[in-house]
Amino acid sequence: MKDAMTRRDFIKSGLLAAAAGAITGPKAIAHEAEKQAARERMSKDILNYNPKMQYRPMGRTGVNVSALGFGMLRLPMKDGHVDFDQTTPMVHRAIEGGVNYIDTGRVYIGGESEQAVGKALAGGWRNRVYVTSKMPSYRHAPGHIGCTGCYQCIPCPHNVAIGYIFAYVYNNYLLHRNMDRAMTDYTVSMSPVQRGDPASSCVSCGECLAKCPQHLDIPSLLAKVQETMGK
């Protein structure tokens, strides 16, 4: 047969393959050793390092945080309060998976978010993560609305963008007293498709009241926004 391999060709190809393996083998071993050394360095330099997680520099802080963090704004709820029994195992599972960054805020879920972080990180878990929290500057503005933007109150049956209106339009207006900017946020950035309808669309049906963790009187506050913003 024309394409049949001769005994000499077979032996020759085998020798070539063996020679190639002899050359590439040490390189492959050296490359794997370098990767292992890099993993060991990262395990020392990165808090709660897990080789299955990616880590990135956090600005100029000098620390590396997990590509996936754990945000504590939206948590399991029970009877209008954070369900700590469900939240704690969720946080622990994330940490076991290599997460080393937890984000919370003073006003998240009426202050219960920070409580949830404290409970979840008790017993040594705190030493495995970085925690950031935020002090809301708008709370220094007289007349602010104590909305955290958790969006537990939506969907609204009349499509009112409740959380966005309170947390990002009205409170920012009170803080900066810039009506032009506030109206831009209220009209251009907020459309029925993107976020929802303005405060004037509220009919005081009351469906949102039982959903709000801060127990805000949402219909009355929307009327207040409508009076100030004109819609």
User: How many other C-beta atoms can be found within 10 angstroms of the C-beta atom of residue 97?
Assistant: 14
In this structure, are 127 and 181 located in the same domain?
A: no
Report which DSSP code applies to 170.
I
In this structure, are 177 and 195 located in the same domain?
A: yes
The pLDDT assigned to 218 comes to: 92
> Is 63 domain-assigned?
yes
- Domain tally, the chain: 2
In this structure, are 142 and 223 located in the same domain?
A: yes
Structure tokens at 218: 């949402």
User: For residue 147, how many C-alpha atoms fall within 13 Å in the half-sphere facing its CB?
Assistant: 31
| Greatest mean pLDDT among 51-55, 133-137, 161-165 | 51-55
If you count DSSP H runs as helices and E runs as strands, how many of each does the chain have, helices first?
Answer: 7, 7
Q: 192 lies in which domain range?
A: 138-229
> Is 193 domain-assigned?
yes
Structure tokens at 45: 């330099």
Mark which of 113, 132, 151 sits at the end of a domain: 132
| Greatest mean pLDDT among 32-36, 179-183, 222-226 | 222-226
The pLDDT assigned to 152 comes to: 83
pTM score: 0.55
pLDDT, the chain, mean: 81
Mark which of 132, 163, 187 sits at the end of a domain: 132
In this structure, are 71 and 147 located in the same domain?
A: no
The pLDDT assigned to 170 comes to: 79
> Is 13 domain-assigned?
no
pLDDT in tens, 116-139: 999 999 999 999 999 998 876 655
In this structure, are 119 and 163 located in the same domain?
A: no
In this structure, are 89 and 72 located in the same domain?
A: yes
> Is 220 domain-assigned?
yes
d(C-alpha 171, C-alpha 160), whole Å: 17
> Is 19 domain-assigned?
no
Task: Report whether pLDDT(22) > 90.
Answer: no
> Is 47 domain-assigned?
no
The pLDDT assigned to 146 comes to: 78
In this structure, are 78 and 154 located in the same domain?
A: no
Percent share of the chain, pLDDT over 70 = 77
Q: Among positive and negative, which fits the CA dihedral 215, 219, 220, 222? A: positive
More confident call, 167 vs 140 = 167
Q: Which of 80, 39, 46 lies closest to 63, judged by CA?
A: 46
Question: Could you tell me the pLDDT band of residue 16, with boundaries at 50, 70 and 90?
Answer: low
Mark which of 71, 101, 132 sits at the end of a domain: 132
> Is 46 domain-assigned?
no
Task: Report whether pLDDT(30) > 80.
Answer: no
The pLDDT assigned to 69 comes to: 96
Q: Which of 211, 161, 151 lies closest to 185, judged by CA?
A: 161
Please, are residues 58 and 65 in contact by the beta-carbon 8 Å criterion?
A: yes
> Is 70 domain-assigned?
yes
The pLDDT assigned to 115 comes to: 92
Report which DSSP code applies to 133.
-
In this structure, are 222 and 151 located in the same domain?
A: yes
pLDDT in tens, 77-128: 988 889 999 999 999 999 999 999 999 987 788 778 999 999 999 999 999 9
Peptide bond into 155 cis (omega under 30): yes
In this structure, are 67 and 149 located in the same domain?
A: no
Place of tokens 């290599």: 98
Q: Which of 226, 230, 222 lies closest to 206, judged by CA?
A: 222
In this structure, are 163 and 225 located in the same domain?
A: yes
Percent share of the chain, pLDDT over 90 = 35
In this structure, are 194 and 217 located in the same domain?
A: yes
In this structure, are 126 and 188 located in the same domain?
A: no
